């Protein structure tokens, strides 16, 4: 596996609305596409012609990560922040972050030591400060930091000792971007009976916004987002996202019910090709929830990869699951033709 590219993509900073660094890398990966399409929000996609042109398949991932935004600079130099995307405050307490002003500045989210806590807890981000070591508002200003400035976790990429798992910030969803980048390489070597659009969306973490405009621009017949989903194996559960047991067929989430025929097709395709998968029910939505409304309504779903501790400064994923997601989506691209589409719509 190309761990260098995985490290690069998961280490880049890119909160929702600030995906520019990731977009540059993804656009570069799409250099062999016959056409580059960009939506008005910042999504980027490459078109790959197949042996037939009567079906459009779109495979993408979202480039944004959960982040923080400065809402106030106090006169004593402390920064007040709010979460951009769904974050439990405890995941960021006492964590180091990068603050993106004129340059990248390191800072620390406050915590309360037991000596002075006296039963006091931290319910949300209004109870913490971001401390960049500045003593005054003027000093903060000089760094180009103010209201609206983003902060993201510091990269911490590593492969575990047994080489089975990888850890970094922003796995959700740069891992999806990595899977798309691996599929771009494979598509150069395979034949596919469809017109394929590979790329990446923006602003998923704040309400699936980029997918809405991108899917309306491309109007695919089948939309697949590759995204990281919360594993619960460390809680002693084996019924919802276990690391190492294969990619996730997300049969239900609050924003998207996987069409039954599409679910059966996914199971059949994975089984035929001996690709490990797990059936997964999620409490949150993905880009598929917005993309399904494109045109008159399209087939849209998620190819998930389980991740432990998502929406935090460090997430662990399995190398085997990444491989199963890449293999499954590649097989699907090789097989998905008009006949398959018509059967799914019968
Ligand atoms: Zn995601």
Q: Look at residue 1 in the predicted model and tell me its pLDDT.
A: 87
Question: Which residues are catalytic, by number?
Answer: 204
Average per-residue pLDDT in the chain?
96
**pTM (predicted TM-score):** 0.96
Considering 111, 128, 153, which residue would you say is the last residue of a domain?
153
Q: Look at residue 121 in the predicted model and tell me its pLDDT.
A: 86
Nearest Cα to 83, choosing from 145, 125, 121, 132? 125
Q: Look at residue 240 in the predicted model and tell me its pLDDT.
A: 79
**What's the 172 CA to ligand 1 centre distance in angstroms?**
5
**pLDDT at residue 173 greater than cutoff 80:** yes
User: In the block, which residue shows the tokens 């620390």?
Assistant: 108
The residues that bridge with 280 in the sheet, in sequence order, are 250
Considering 110, 128, 153, which residue would you say is the last residue of a domain?
153
**What's the 142 CA to ligand 1 centre distance in angstroms?**
34
Structure confidence by residue, pLDDT tens digits, 287-307:
999 999 999 999 999 999 999
**pLDDT at residue 323 greater than cutoff 90:** yes
Nearest Cα to 226, choosing from 185, 178, 268? 178
Q: Which domain holds residue 81?
A: 67-153
* Distance from C-alpha of 231 to C-alpha of 306, rounded to nearest angstrom: 5
Same-domain pairing of 96 and 183: no
Residue 272 within a domain: yes
Same-domain pairing of 149 and 293: no
Same-domain pairing of 318 and 229: yes
**What's the 57 CA to ligand 1 centre distance in angstroms?**
20
Structure confidence by residue, pLDDT tens digits, 252-262:
999 999 999 99
Average pLDDT over residues 19-29: 97
**pLDDT at residue 130 greater than cutoff 90:** yes
* Distance from C-alpha of 155 to C-alpha of 35, rounded to nearest angstrom: 33
Same-domain pairing of 108 and 20: no
Q: Look at residue 309 in the predicted model and tell me its pLDDT.
A: 96
**What's the 200 CA to ligand 1 centre distance in angstroms?**
12
Same-domain pairing of 195 and 243: yes
Q: Look at residue 336 in the predicted model and tell me its pLDDT.
A: 98
Residue 163 within a domain: no
**pLDDT at residue 116 greater than cutoff 90:** no
Question: Could you write out the DSSP letters of every residue in 89-118?
Answer: GGGTTT-EEEEESSSEEEEEE----HHHHT
- What's the total number of domains in the chain? 2
The band of 115, judged by pLDDT with boundaries at 50, 70 and 90, is confident
- SS3 label, residue 71: strand
**What's the 7 CA to ligand 1 centre distance in angstroms?**
17
Same-domain pairing of 73 and 36: no
Q: Look at residue 252 in the predicted model and tell me its pLDDT.
A: 93
Considering 107, 124, 153, which residue would you say is the last residue of a domain?
153
Three-state SS for 187-226 is HCCCCCCCEEEEEEECCCCCCCHHHHHHHHHHCCCEEEEE
**What's the 65 CA to ligand 1 centre distance in angstroms?**
8
Structure confidence by residue, pLDDT tens digits, 134-160:
999 999 999 999 999 999 999 999 999
User: In the block, which residue shows the tokens 């034949």?
Assistant: 191
**What's the 69 CA to ligand 1 centre distance in angstroms?**
19
- CATH number, position 137: 2.40.30.40
Structure confidence by residue, pLDDT tens digits, 179-194:
999 999 999 899 999 9
* Distance from C-alpha of 249 to C-alpha of 256, rounded to nearest angstrom: 12
Structure confidence by residue, pLDDT tens digits, 49-62:
999 999 999 999 99
Same-domain pairing of 82 and 36: no
* Distance from C-alpha of 266 to C-alpha of 279, rounded to nearest angstrom: 10
Same-domain pairing of 248 and 321: yes
Same-domain pairing of 222 and 287: yes
Residue 80 within a domain: yes
Average pLDDT over residues 204-225: 95
- Inter-residue contact 327 to 273 (CB < 8 Å): yes
């Amino acid at each position: 596996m190309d761990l260098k590219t995985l490290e690069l993509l998961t280490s880049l900073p890119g909160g929702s609305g600030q995906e520019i660094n990731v977009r540059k890398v993804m656009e570069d990966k799409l250099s062999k596409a016959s056409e580059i399409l960009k939506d008005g929000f910042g999504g980027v996609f490459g078109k790959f012609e197949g042996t037939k042109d009567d079906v459009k398949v779109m495979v993408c991932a979202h480039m944004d990560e959960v982040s923080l935004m400065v809402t106030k600079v106090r006169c004593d130099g402390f920064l007040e922040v709010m979460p951009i995307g769904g974050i439990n405050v405890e995941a960021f307490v006492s964590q180091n972050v990068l603050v993106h002003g004129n340059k990248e500045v390191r800072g620390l989210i406050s915590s309360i030591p037991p000596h002075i806590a006296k039963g006091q807890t931290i319910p949300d981000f209004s109870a913490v400060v971001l401390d960049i070591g500045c003593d005054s508002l003027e000093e903060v200003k000089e760094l180009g930091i103010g209201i609206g400035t983003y902060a993201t976790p510091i990269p911490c990429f590593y492969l575990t000792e047994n080489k089975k798992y990888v850890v970094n910030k922003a796995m959700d969803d740069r891992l999806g971007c990595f899977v798309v980048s691996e599929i771009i390489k494979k598509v150069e070597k395979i034949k596919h009976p469809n017109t394929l659009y590979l790329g990446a969306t923006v602003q998923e973490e704040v309400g699936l916004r980029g997918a809405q405009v991108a899917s309306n621009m491309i109007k695919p017949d089948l939309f697949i987002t590759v995204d990281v989903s919360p594993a619960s194996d460390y809680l002693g559960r084996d019924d919802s996202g276990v690391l190492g047991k294969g990619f996730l067929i997300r049969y239900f989430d609050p924003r998207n019910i996987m069409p039954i025929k599409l679910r059966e097709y996914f199971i059949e395709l994975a089984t035929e090709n001996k690709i490990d998968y797990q059936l997964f029910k999620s409490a949150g939505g993905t880009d598929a929830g917005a993309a399904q409304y494109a045109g008159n309504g399209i087939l849209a779903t998620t190819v998930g990869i389980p991740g432990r501790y998502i929406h935090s400064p460090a997430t662990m994923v399995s190398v085997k699951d990444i491989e199963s997601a890449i293999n499954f989506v590649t097989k699907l691209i090789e097989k998905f033709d008009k006949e398959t589409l018509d059967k799914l719509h019968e």
